[in-house]
Chains A and B, each alone.
Chain A
Amino acid sequence: MVELARRLPIPQRRLPASPVLLVLLAACIFLAVGSSMSTLFAQLTVQGVASGIVYGSLALALVLIYRATEVINFAQGEMAMACVYFAYQLMQWGLSYWAAFFATLAIAFVFGVVVQQVVIRPVQHRSVIAVVIVTVGLFILIDGLVEWKWSASQRFMQAPFGNSVYHLGSVPIARQQVGTIVIVLVCVLALWAFFRFTKVGLGMRAGALRPAAARLVGVRTNALLAVGWGLAAVLGAVAGLMTEPSQYVLSPTLMQPVLLYAFAAAVLGGLESPGGAVVGGVALGVFLNLIGQYWGFVGSVLQLPVAFAALLVVLLIKPTGLFGHRSVRKV
């Protein structure tokens, strides 16, 4: 019996490796000290958290799909971008921002489910690379469709939080950044509660962990996979809608840089870990913002290469990301 238990890779609930936590703690202390010394530093940090948490939410969407199907959805960013255009269209038809916001989330869910059922399901049981290529095709297709309908020119949307500024001590913080952080956090917590406390959430976790066993006890894994894609699309839509105000304009390339950072964030956190994705996103956002400002050689041009170089270093030290764990395979 002990033999059997050892052979089955039963996932254990345990804290992530402590060196990682120590490093993160050290980083937090560094940021807190820096923020108390310099206003600019504090401002950059908050800005970094606001953009980072958006990366984190898109990264979380990627992780959701990765956990269920072991596939990276290259079209995630473009699906989010299309959802922002849906919101734009709804507002053109006279809806208020928040009405359009929630309507878009509903549309995004349906969109995700439809995409999964129509194009992903037929290739799902084939190699990972086949699914990846399909998502690449989806990327190009959505891009083309959006440009067809709304043209590639830039559009302007109403700002959800206005332009007012809060003051925390001497540090000015834009209301929009605070709003972004709050909205994304609420979504992430709602998602966590969904997975933790509802029966559907439990079924989805079971389906991701042991598809065959879950099916045997009556979980409808296929339907739940579609729900997973729907939820991922909703998260993506939130990320898209929160990216738009920070860019000030809406164009079809809106989510492409965000997708890059979301990939990086997801991998940084360890692809299997939802919490890691959010932590990775915030870490990346803050790191990028600070390094672009304080290291002159990097500037804005080399921000991306430096971010990825840092990511590579992390991967070489910990090949499965910060919170990932090495899976043991039977030969």
Chain B
Amino acid sequence: MEEKIFSDIEYNEYLNEEKLMGSKCKKCNALYTPPRPICIDCYGTDMEWVEMKGTGKLAAFTCISIGPPFMIEEGFDRKHPYCVGVVELDEGTRIDARIEGIDPSKPETIKVGMPLVVKYLHREKKGEKLTYLAFETS
């Protein structure tokens, strides 16, 4: 079997399989989510895939009222905002994700530091399977 390169395409394929994957430098152990093909700490190029536990906490967030067309298609608008944020994983790296299990119309109730667990939002676009990374309150 051909080895999976450390690309966004492979990362997204893993999301379709409900796996949150990062890459780790075999030389200096630096960890990256999403995966990087080249270690930017030691410039090593020998990387390996690592599966994340999928738990973490909310590092920062925003509740968006005016979104791009693909979010409007999902039913979000000025009256129905959605929440996106940056999640700090237990492994120490951060990742961008949609945030669920909270009320985006009451942003003052959403707190930085909230514990979160991964959730995969499966969608179809032009017959292609795609998965949005999300986290919800645990």
Partners in one complex: no
Q: What residues make up the interface of A, taking CB atoms closer than 8 Å to B?
A: none
Q: What residues make up the interface of B, taking CB atoms closer than 8 Å to A?
A: none
